Structure 1
Amino acid sequence: MRHLWRPGIRALLRIIEIVEANYPETMGRLLIVRAPRVFPVLWTLVSPFIDENTSKKFMIYGGNDYQGPGGLVDFIDKKYIPDFLGGECYVSK
């Protein structure tokens, strides 16, 4: 909770406001994978300030729930999903 300081929240809300005003409907879908446990708290604080149509585009996955039905493969072809997320795309090191 120490990261939820007032200037940080104000800055984030201002960024969201600027993006929504100047770049409407440019985001198709945002997939957040392996969200930390604190993320639902942050999302609860921030989401009321985000346009409803925009907030519906956020898909938030915690733990391994991105691997099942309604997960990444519903939005991304498995050959493009990295192997460490259960896909078939291998990155050479």
Structure 2
Amino acid sequence: MRPEQMLPAEKQALDNLLKIAQGDTGQSRRVADFLLAWWNAGQCGSYDLTTAWGLDDDIMEDACVVFRLASRAASYPDTLGYGEHFEAVVRAWRPELVKE
């Protein structure tokens, strides 16, 4: 999938989640875990669905939209132009994986 094929709602939901993942709250950690499972589940950890029990309803709606996007895109977020954004989430939540 090319970035221009993303639906507006998908782009908005992904942007919302990336912004939340940059925070330092429990919601931020849960969102980061979800996003990083798409980025690289092998290195960043898979996503336990029960983690979603701790998400606010609006955030959960965005996560559902992004899950559909990830499934529909059949590719990683860097192919959609979000590589730098996801790298920032890795730096924030998985600093041990950052290669210097």
Q: Is TM (by shorter chain) over 0.5?
A: no
The TM-score with structure 1 as length reference comes to 0.29
The TM-score with structure 2 as length reference comes to 0.28
Q: Which has the higher contact order (CA 8 A, sep 6+)?
A: 2
Between structures 1 and 2, the one with greater helix share: 2
Between structures 1 and 2, the one with greater strand share: 1
Instruction: Give the number of the structure whose alpha-carbon radius of gyration is greater.
Output: 1
